[in-house]
C-alpha cells in the first residue's frame, strides 16, 4: 500500500486537529478572563498557536527518541461505532505551543 505525500499530510492534520481545537478553546478562555490585563491580541495569538502547534508536533514526531514511539504513536478508538485514530503527540504539541502563543500574542 502506497501513501502519497498529500494523504500523509491530511492524516497528520487529522491527528493534530482535535488538540488544536482544544488549544484554541483554552486560548479563548484565557483571553476572555485575562485578555485586557495581558494586552492579548486574540487573532495574533490564535495564528501563532496554530503555527507553533503544527511545528512542535512535526518536530516531536521527527526528533523524538525511539523509546517514546509506543507512547506517542497512533491509537485506535471508536466514536459512536466509527473507528478512527488519535495521537497524544498533538496534545503535547499544543501544551508546548500555548505559552509561546500567549507570550508572543501580546500587543503593544
Return the ∠ at Cα 73 (arms to 70 and 78), rounded to 5°.
115
Under 8 Å between Cβ of 79 and 88? no
pLDDT at position 58 is: 84
State pLDDT tens for residues 49-87. Answer: 999 998 998 888 888 777 776 666 667 778 788 877 777
In sequence order, the 6+-apart residues with CB closer than 8 A to the CB of 105 are 40, 41, 42, 44, 45, 46, 48, 49
Measured distance CA(28)–CA(16) in Å, rounded: 18
Amino acid at each position: 500500500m502506497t501513501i502519497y505525500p498529500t494523504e500523509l499530510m491530511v492524516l497528520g492534520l487529522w491527528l493534530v486537529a482535535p488538540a488544536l481545537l482544544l488549544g484554541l478553546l483554552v486560548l479563548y478562555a484565557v483571553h476572555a478572563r485575562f485578555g485586557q490585563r495581558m494586552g492579548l491580541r486574540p487573532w495574533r495569538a490564535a495564528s501563532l498557536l496554530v503555527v507553533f502547534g503544527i511545528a512542535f508536533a512535526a518536530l516531536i514526531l521527527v526528533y523524538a527518541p525511539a523509546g517514546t514511539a509506543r507512547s506517542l504513536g497512533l491509537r485506535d478508538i471508536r466514536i459512536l461505532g466509527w473507528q478512527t485514530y488519535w495521537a497524544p503527540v498533538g496534545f503535547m504539541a499544543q501544551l508546548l505551543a500555548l505559552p509561546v502563543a500567549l507570550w508572543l500574542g501580546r500587543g503593544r
